[in-house]
């Protein structure tokens, strides 16, 4: 269990440090630093909405995102705490939970502590993707993918193996 706590705490720290760097290093929103010209840039964006900017800048919508954040953090934390840590076959599930907690908390921290309640995004793959994102978003995307793989592919095999042993 400690390993997974270290994973999600480390990822939250990386997420928050990179966002703090962007806020201090860039003069204004929209500023960009090309890392690989016309392919990968650091671009300072403040996202008022959810994934892909959904929900937008509509007054007090950030309160809805904070509410959903509280629910998601509660759910993922409950799943994390009640997990069967002794089952070594669930290591991928455990990594998924660590990523989901890190991603949710990373963006939740922005919603609470950024003065405008917007999430700081900066990773801009112009050559292949229209949206700018951050480390917390990567944690959520990878965490959801691993979680789905575990639940739909691996878990049925674990259940079947357990039934065959009984």
73, 102 contact by CB (below 8 A): no
Quote the pLDDT of residue 80: 82
Quote the pLDDT of residue 56: 66
Per-residue tens of pLDDT for the chain, all 166 residues: 889 899 999 999 999 999 999 999 999 999 999 999 999 999 999 998 777 666 666 667 778 888 999 999 899 888 888 887 777 778 899 999 999 999 999 999 999 999 999 999 999 999 898 899 999 999 999 999 999 999 999 888 877 777 777 6
Quote the pLDDT of residue 53: 64
Quote the pLDDT of residue 75: 93
The reply to whether 84 falls in a domain is: yes
The reply to whether 20 falls in a domain is: no
The residue from 137, 150, 155, 162 that is catalytic is 137
Quote the pLDDT of residue 107: 95
Q: Is 87 in the active site?
A: no
pTM of the model: 0.87
Range of the domain at 9: 1-15+61-159
The reply to whether 44 falls in a domain is: no
Q: Is 124 in the active site?
A: no
The reply to whether 27 falls in a domain is: no
The reply to whether 112 falls in a domain is: yes
The residue from 15, 121, 124, 150 that is catalytic is 121
Query: Going by C-beta distance under 8 Å and a sequence separation of 6 or more, which residues neighbour residue 83?
Result: 1, 90, 93, 94, 97
What's the domain count of the chain? Answer: 1
Is residue 71 classed exposed, middle or buried when 0-12, 13-18 and 19+ CB atoms within 10 A define those classes? exposed
The reply to whether 151 falls in a domain is: yes
| Residue 123 vs residues 4, 42, 86, 101, 120: alpha-carbon distances, Å | 25, 5, 37, 20, 10
Quote the pLDDT of residue 20: 98
Q: Which helix (H) or strand (E) holds 160?
A: helix 155-165
């Amino acid at each position: 269990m400690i390993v997974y706590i270290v994973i999600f705490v480390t990822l939250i720290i990386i997420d928050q440090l990179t966002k703090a760097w962007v806020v201090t290093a860039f003069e204004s929103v929209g500023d960009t630093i090309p890392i690989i010209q016309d392919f990968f840039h650091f671009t300072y964006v403040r996202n008022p909405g959810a994934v892909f900017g959904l929900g937008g800048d509509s007054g007090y919508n950030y309160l809805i995102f904070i509410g959903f954040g509280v629910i998601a953090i509660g759910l993922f934390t409950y799943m994390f705490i009640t997990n069967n840590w002794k089952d070594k076959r669930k290591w991928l599930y455990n990594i998924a939970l660590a990523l989901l907690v890190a991603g949710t908390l990373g963006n939740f921290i922005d919603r609470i502590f950024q003065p405008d309640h917007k999430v700081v995004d900066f990773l801009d793959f112009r050559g292949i993707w229209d949206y700018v994102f951050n480390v917390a978003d990567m944690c959520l995307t990878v965490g959801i993918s691993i979680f789905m793989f575990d639940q739909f592919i691996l878990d049925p095999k674990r259940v079947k193996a357990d039934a065959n042993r009984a």
